[in-house]
Amino acid sequence: MPYEPPTHTVERSLRATTGAKVIAGVDEVGRGAWAGPVTVCAAVTGLRRPPLGLTDSKLLTVKRRTELAVELEKWVTAYALGHAAPEEIDELGMTAALRLAAVRALEGLPVRPDAVILDGKHDYLGAPWRVRTVIKGDRSCVAVAAASVIAKVHRDKMMAELGADHADFGFAANAGYPSPVHKAALEERGPTPYHRLSWAYLDALPRWQHLKKARVWLEGNVPQIEGQLGFDF
């Protein structure tokens, strides 16, 4: 089933209603994984026509997504990536980890955006950022779709590299997400240094339950994270 290509509609609306000139699309990947970081890309595209076939990264084949990421990195005005490490996810919870990764990405851009288009319905960024949330923004907004593709390709490559010494876990194929190969390796070998140890998958692994970490911070009740240092992937 063909999908409508993304547009600049939301960006034009923000320009008209807020006066914003530099607008970043933001999307994340890795939220539901058992291992690896959560990765956020912030992309600034302006109002130019995007490369042909741009859409949500999940709708693209691996080959096309990889090719498109190369095109996008040359086409966008600017992009930057931010990561929150498994240890930070365990310590802070996912909401704060997402914000940490997103702030790192936004602060990595050469110019601070006047506004942010954030994929989804939940604003995990908050003040002082001016945020417009868009459900399925990775399909409908050009900048968010570009961020989606770049984030996915970079994180997949990162997970393949991290998994080089842990071949039984299949990180090159599953990117740290649940899969039969991943679960079998966990049962046999236990978590790698890249696993999230506060996650419920450990409840089904009696041999390794002693490694599970209790979450200190409840979602929505998190410490200030500005200025914290992250894992250097």
Q: What are 163-221's pLDDT values in tens digits?
A: 999 999 999 999 999 999 999 999 999 999 999 999 999 999 999 999 999 866 554 44
The pLDDT assigned to 152 comes to 97
Alpha carbon of residue 196 to chain centroid: 16
Name 170's Cβ contacts closer than 8 Å, sequence gap at least 6.
163, 179, 181, 182, 185
Q: Residues of the chain whose pLDDT is less than 50?
A: 1, 219-233
DSSP letters, the chain, are ---PPPBSHHHHHHHHHH---SEEEEEEE-TT-SBS-EEEEEEE-TTSPPPTT---GGGS-HHHHHHHHHHHHHHSSEEEEEEE-HHHHHHH-HHHHHHHHHHHHHHTSSS--SEEEEESS--SS-TTS-EEEETTHHHHBHHHHHHHHHHHHHHHHHHHHHGGG-GGG-HHHHTTS--HHHHHHHHHH---TTB-TTSGGGGG-GGGGGGPPPPSS-TT-----TT------
Cα(229)–Cα(232) distance, integer angstroms: 9
| CA–CA distances in Å: residue 79 to residues 72, 98, 170, 210 | 9, 17, 29, 40
